[in-house]
Amino acid sequence: MTKKYEFPTQFFWGASTSATQSEGTEKGDGKGQNIWDYASQHYNHRFYDGVTTEHTSHFYKDYQQDIQLMADIDFNSFRTSISWSRLIPDGVGEVNQEAVIFYNQVIDELIAKKIEPFINLYHFDMPMKLQEIGGFENRDVIAAYKKYAETCFALFGDRVKYWFTFNEPMIPAEAGYLHDRHYPYVVDFKRAATVLHHIILAHCEAVKSFRQLELDSKIGIIMDVIPVYPRSQNPADLKAAEMADLFYTRSINEPILLGHYPAELKPILTAYHQMPAILENDLDLIASTEIDLLGINYYKPRRVKALDYEPNKAGIFSPEWFFDNYEMPGRRMNTSRGIEIYPQGIYDIAMTIKEKYGNIDWFVSENGIGIQGEEAFIENDRVEDDYRIDFLKEHLVWLHQAIADGSNCLGYHMWTFVDCWSWINAYKNRYGFYRLDLETGKKTVKKSGLWFKSVSQNNGFD
């Protein structure tokens, strides 16, 4: 029977997580400390209920059971990351053989269960030893990352068919060096711009090394292509949207996907003395780097308006000098997260990729809804999360339309497989297809997980 919303053959259905948010720590595992391990201990007040990285969903010890749970709801693919500080505890030295064993077992188990491993190399988790010398502010860390990437390709490249260099490369720069949300809690635009530039170079170096190995696999990156919507068609609002898009989307997307920075960016940064140090060879490297596959994370749109008041430009430079966030009347909200729900945004992203970025192959690498107090929806030991099913349906309907309109979308990964520890919010909001009982560690499928199973089995839905 033909489904009303049928997806292309061999469409990827699954979910995503990251090493830091899922693995946990075990005594004697050889793992080095990363910035989240450090921050959640030393800046514990910044984390909801003070929950540290030690209290994640314990994928490190439960991976076999967890992968079976994925198979139980018919995943054919799953994205996670390798922890740099687990594999190379100090970021640059000896490889931790316990980590090699673990990641080999995870990859082999996924393949045995017919679940394609999508492996990401960096998901916000700088090894603490490298952060102590500046992290991605320090050019030396680019070489350290390149060595780490090469180590991963050598160890696991015979089986991993889909590699990703970074998850949301804007976030370590913006959240860690400008907006005071992530460690090291710096507020300095030029330092943030330096970090972003060095991350782009690290990505390019990893892709270059990957190409030299001539592996039978693909490499890409996972990013936001956040659609920006102006309050109105007033020229001032349109300009505000243009500036928000320039700083937070095009500044990372264009060097990665088009091989150059936006031409409009340099004059602005130069005028405000915010240009990072860019060497001549840097731009050549960026121009010569191409990826095979793009992952897109989408949770919310960005709505902006012209500033109501001229900002005080005597302070720290900020992109918010050029636009203001706009709270559109009547918007649908996820009140747990305080963010807008706008399913059409996923279609608009697809069309942007098609029209501006060469219609590159891509997939939805994260999309999801985090709800606080999900225990209120438990009936007969199961979370009856119809709100998550509705969220999924609405986004998949728009994704289906995008594919019909020529977008090369290859798959859809939900965030996340099982309720996981989230940056800053810990377990305040639940995102998983499985509920994690924090007291017992028991993982119980939610109604949405069973619905997703039927979608994957049928490659669509009515």
Q: Where are the domains of the chain?
A: 5-461
Rounded average pLDDT over 135-155: 98
Is the pLDDT at 238 greater than 60? The verdict is: yes
The predicted model gives 17-33 an average pLDDT of 89
Query: What is the percent of the chain where pLDDT is above 70?
Result: 100
Which range, of 12-16, 47-51, 235-239, 378-382, averages the lowest pLDDT?
A: 47-51
Lowest mean pLDDT segment, chosen from 48-57, 76-85, 191-200, 374-383: 48-57
Tokens of 225: 């292509």
366 is catalytic: yes
Does the active-site annotation cover 439? no
Cα 371 to chain centroid, rounded: 19
pLDDT band at residue 225 under the 50/70/90 scheme: confident
pLDDT averaged over the chain? 96
Is this structure's pTM higher than 0.85? yes
- Residue 2's pLDDT band, with cuts at 50, 70 and 90, is low
Is the pLDDT score of 262 beyond 60? Answer: yes
CATH superfamily of 5-461: Glycosidases (3.20.20.80)
- Residue 52 is predicted with a pLDDT of 85
- pLDDT of residue 25 exceeding 80: no
- Positive or negative: CA dihedral 299, 303, 309, 315: positive
Which is the catalytic residue, given 168, 174, 254, 374?
A: 168
Pairing of strands 12-16, 409-415: parallel
Query: Residue 183's pLDDT band (boundaries 50, 70, 90)?
Result: very high
Among 116, 205, 366, 374, the active-site one is 366
Q: Which stretch of 14-28, 168-182, 213-227, 287-301 has the lowest confidence by average pLDDT?
A: 14-28
| Beta-carbon-side half-sphere exposure of residue 59 (alpha carbons within 13 Å) | 32
Q: What does the pLDDT look like over 79-130, one tens digit per residue?
A: 999 999 999 999 999 999 999 999 999 999 999 999 999 999 999 999 999 9
Structure tokens at 16: 């995503």
| Residue 1: pLDDT over 70 | no
Residue 340: strand pairing partners: 333
Residues 405-449 have pLDDT tens digits of 999 999 999 999 999 998 888 899 999 999 999 999 999 999 999
Question: Confidence band (pLDDT; 50, 70, 90) for 326?
Answer: very high
Q: How far, CA to CA in Å, does 343 sit from each of 161, 191, 402, 406? A: 30, 34, 12, 18
On the question of a cis peptide bond just before residue 117, with omega within 30 degrees of 0, the verdict is no
